[in-house]
Amino acid sequence: MVTVGGTGAMAIGGLVAAAVAVLLALALGRRLGWASAASVAGFCWSLVAIALVTLLPTRADVGVVPAESRSTGCSWDYGGPTGVAFEALGLDQRTLNVLLFVPAGALLVLALGRWRSVWLLAPLGLAGLAAYSLAIEFVQLQLARLDRACDVTDMVDNVLGAGIGFVVGAVLLAVVRPWRGGRRAGRPEAGRSR
């Protein structure tokens, strides 16, 4: 039986996703401007990183949980036991669940910041991140044989992290100003002639 999981598998997956994100940023850079391209690529990478951290077993030696002992529903015990999730970081699971979604929330705002409709699209994107968290918990419930558990506390913490990231991204918009880069339809780039 082949098992995949543990922090090593998560790190390798994150590095592969980062390499793909760099290629995406390079492909989008001239068209969107480097700030927007890096934000779009970083946002895509953060979604993959979230999936890796939440859907792979925490240990490679977990094996498969027997079907009869797996959970059949989500835990509604809000704020239940958290314990230390990754001993190397010394953080509890709730803190990590919040921190995991902060980059996605910030990069979402920065990725959309180039367009005037950012203040309409960004809240929809935030709702999308909440739906992503819900989908992850649903998948964890369905794949509970991989030793993952569906928990309402995780969903609340994930949405809190995305919200914090959203605020951070809104503040960073004034600094990064992604609307300044890239080509606009029908207009040459600043400083260039046709």
Q: Examine residue 71 and state whether it is found in any structural domain, yes or no.
A: no
Residue 68 lies in a domain: no
Is residue 57 in a domain?
A: yes
Number of structural domains in the chain: 1
Per the structure, the complete domain to which residue 156 belongs is given by 6-63+90-180
192: confidence class by pLDDT, cuts 50, 70, 90: very low
pLDDT in tens, 97-110: 899 999 999 999 99
Q: Report if residue 12 sits inside a domain.
A: yes
Q: From CA 192, how far away is CA 194, in angstroms rounded? A: 7
* Residue 77 included in any domain: no
Asked if the structure places residue 72 within a domain, the reply is no
Query: Could you report the per-residue pLDDT of 82-94, keeping only the tens digit for each?
Result: 554 555 566 677 8
Distance CA 12, CA 168 (A): 28
pLDDT one-digit tens code per residue, 11-33: 899 999 999 999 999 999 888 88
- From residue 162, alpha-carbon distances to 26, 47, 65 in Å are 26, 12, 31
Whole-number mean pLDDT of the chain? 79
Query: Has residue 119 got a pLDDT over 90?
Result: no
Q: Which residue has the tokens 């409709």?
A: 117
When pLDDT is cut at 50, 70 and 90, the band that residue 189 belongs to is very low
108 located within any domain: yes
Give the integer Cα–Cα distance in Å for 127 and 141: 21
Angle among Cα 6, 46, 32 to the nearest 5 degrees reads 150
> Which pTM was predicted?
0.76
